[in-house]
């Protein structure tokens, strides 16, 4: 079987959607499926990063489409993606087209249905006010875009919330496949040994360490986390907050975060930026925090839970889908900074509670979110659609 995966951009490690699709592609490859990525590439990346237009990496074929893509990330009307993908579809024939994200990638796949003629699987990468369906409603030509969605064969809902949102725009239950994001439970596992040793290897201080992993953007509410941090320091003056993730300091939000760090908490906040492998950092951390106001299904949350870390997360539907408040995570109201600080202090000062939370989180991941089971679910879906297309 030969699969085309369309994704707005593919940088392997920089975003949750990119990392999830790349890891899934490897597991599909192990099951004998040929995987091709069709992805956008800004012209400056081709010049400054020497990215080839086409290459095979780890057995996976990548078709990059150079263009002047707008600056708003994955949320753009996909004209350049459509034109570039059309050229790939004229050269290559695929059994299934899998769009990773509904807005740009999904609309590109739907617009080219007459060219590739293969069944389309469209994954809805995010839900809520900042999710894919909200974006379709927010941007111009809403009716046109909703008509294009009729060309999809299956929609992937990674959470029950997203399944409800799809039903809300008229997608029938038989066209929705409930398949969550997955995590590699062999790579991400409970820390073995003294955390002081892991901290030492990463040149981190021997102190209570709270870890955040994610893009530094308004949806993640890192500003609220930083606002809560002084209250944590009143109880734990030696505690450190470690931020891993991409931040664009040229944006007003990126500049705000940097200013907050510099103003009051420079000695207690470590801003590491983007790292290629979060595994060692998760092994070193004492607890994990995710203060987002909205999520699709956070890869960082899955990886932290698989690593057996006690977790403090915002009480939103996507996070409750992964972990149960009180038993496998402590959760707080997304708008309550005092509650956030209170929950962080609990996991950093109560070792038995922290151990119990981490143990239950790991069990939940093993049961419901292993990448092995997710890949198997996709293979079954692909086979079903391929056989239906032949009838």
**Whole-number pLDDT of residue 143:** 62
pLDDT at 358 over 80: yes
State the average pLDDT over residues 303-322. Answer: 96
- CA distances (Å), 199 to each of 193, 202, 292, 321, in order? 11, 5, 26, 31
The overall average pLDDT reported for the chain is: 90
**Whole-number pLDDT of residue 352:** 97
Under a CB-based contact definition with an 8 Å cutoff, are residues 10 and 391 in contact? no
**Whole-number pLDDT of residue 104:** 84
Nearest to 45 by CA among 76, 20, 8, 3: 8
pLDDT at 264 over 90: no
- Domain(s) labelled CATH 3.40.50.2000 in the chain stretch across 2-182+370-390, 195-368
User: Is 195-368 CATH 3.40.50.2000?
Assistant: yes
pLDDT at 73 over 60: no
pLDDT tens for 140-175 read 656 666 777 888 999 999 999 999 999 988 899 999
State the average pLDDT over residues 173-186. Answer: 94
pLDDT tens for 266-290 read 689 999 988 888 999 999 999 999 9
* Exposure b/e, 145-167, CB count within 10 A at least 16 = b: beebbebbbbbbbbbebbbebbe
State the average pLDDT over residues 44-71. Answer: 85
Please state which CATH class domain 2-182+370-390 belongs to: alpha beta
pLDDT at 221 over 80: yes
Q: How confident is the model at residue 80 (pLDDT cuts 50, 70, 90)?
A: confident
């Amino acid at each position: 079987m030969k699969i085309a995966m369309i994704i707005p951009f593919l940088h392997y490690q920089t975003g949750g959607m990119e990392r999830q699709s790349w890891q899934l592609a490897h597991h599909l490859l192990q099951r004998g499926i040929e995987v091709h990525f069709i992805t956008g590439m800004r012209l400056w990346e081709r010049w400054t990063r020497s990215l080839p237009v086409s290459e095979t990496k780890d057995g996976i074929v990548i078709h990059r489409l150079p263009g002047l893509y707008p600056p708003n990330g994955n949320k753009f009307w996909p004209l350049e993606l459509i034109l570039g993908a059309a050229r790939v579809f004229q050269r290559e024939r695929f059994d299934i087209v899998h769009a990773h994200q509904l807005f740009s990638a999904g609309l590109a796949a739907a617009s080219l249905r007459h060219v590739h003629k293969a069944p389309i699987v469209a994954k809805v990468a995010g839900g809520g006010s900042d999710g894919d369906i909200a974006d379709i409603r927010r941007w111009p030509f809403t009716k046109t875009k909703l008509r294009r969605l009729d060309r999809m064969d299956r929609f992937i809902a990674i959470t029950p919330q997203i399944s409800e949102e799809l039903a809300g725009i008229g997608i029938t239950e038989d066209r929705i496949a409930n398949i969550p994001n997955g995590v590699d439970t062999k790579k991400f596992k409970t820390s073995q040994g003294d955390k002081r040793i892991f901290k030492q290897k990463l040149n981190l201080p021997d102190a209570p360490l709270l870890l955040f992993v994610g893009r530094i953007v308004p949806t993640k509410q890192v500003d609220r986390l930083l606002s809560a941090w002084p209250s944590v320091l009143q109880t734990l003056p030696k505690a450190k907050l470690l931020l891993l993730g991409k931040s664009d300091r040229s944006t007003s939000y990126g500049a705000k975060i940097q200013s907050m760090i510099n103003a009051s908490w420079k000695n207690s906040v470590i801003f590491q930026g983007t790292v290629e492998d979060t595994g060692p950092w998760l092994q070193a951390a004492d607890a994990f925090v995710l203060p987002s106001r909205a999520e699709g299904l956070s890869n960082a949350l899955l990886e932290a839970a698989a690593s057996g870390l006690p977790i403090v997360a915002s009480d939103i539907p996507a996070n409750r889908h992964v972990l149960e408040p009180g038993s496998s995570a402590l959760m707080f109201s997304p708008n309550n900074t005092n509650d956030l600080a209170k929950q962080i202090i609990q996991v950093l000062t109560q070792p038995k509670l922290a151990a119990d939370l981490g143990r239950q989180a790991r069990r939940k991941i093993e049961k419901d979110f292993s990448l092995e089971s997710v890949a198997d679910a996709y293979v079954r879906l692909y086979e079903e659609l391929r056989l239906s297309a032949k009838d």
